[in-house]
Structure 1
């Protein structure tokens, strides 16, 4: 976990300190913490993440490489997807581009959710991270 920024490492620690059933509960709690989109962003103008089973959209503002801003839109009816988006938001929003680029693609497995959610759902989390990294690379 040395490649994780402190806020994301803390989230991973929170998950791994819990039992499997409590991890699932924490994931759902994260879903409730996903911030609303700012007024200037519309989901239709955001990048879709087709790797996710639920419709999710993201926007990456890497105009300031020292503090990348992340925005997500995910339906309330998709708490797992919203939870993953909230984890990425809380763990990576405001971090430098280079720090985000160094996050391992498979960090989602460090959350200890492999036995709680399907591999397809974890692939969705990896897809969100990959799209964030690609947007940062395009901006750089």
Structure 2
């Protein structure tokens, strides 16, 4: 796994997962699902600004703001999809506040590095990877 450019916040989240026994990692993911930051008022009033993450079975939408080279990630995921919502929350909390360069340097395999590949289906990990790829593309477009 590449760990050279994992920003501190995302590295801490990864380490929190890896320090837990595998059986307890899903519980931490559920805690993240309850902590998904609310989208800004502007984003909630203009859902058309958001991009659907096709790799996710659940309806997940993301929008990235870049202001003064600082990224804010907004994400929505339904409460009835706690795994997907947890992944969106990890990324939103880990990416918001980073510079564009830091976001673009996040390893593409970060979703595989947090120790959940045996606890959740590969399809769900692919969904988190899809979220990360869309964030990077939006950051590239808005830099």
Alignment TM class, shorter chain as reference: over 0.9
2:17 is the counterpart of 1:15? yes
Q: 1:58 aligns with which of 62, 65, 86?
A: 62
Work out whether residues 51 and 63 of structure 2, in 8 Å CA contact, stay in contact via their aligned partners in 1: yes
Aligned pair count reads 139
Displacement of 1:85 in angstroms is: 0.6
The alpha-carbon deviation at position 2 of structure 1 amounts to 2.3
Gaps of 5+ in 1: none
1:115 is displaced (CA, Å) by 0.4
TM-score (norm 2): 0.93
- 1:25 aligns to 2:27 (yes or no): yes
Give CA-to-partner distance per residue, 1:70-91, whole Å, 9 cap, x none: 1001100010111001100111
| 2:37 and 2:93 in contact (8 A); partners too | no
Task: Write the mapping of 1:1-140 to structure 2, written as runs, cut at 5 A.
Answer: 1-42=3-44, 43-65=47-69, 67-140=70-143
| Higher mean C-alpha displacement, 80-89 vs 39-48 | 39-48
TM-score by length of 1: 0.95
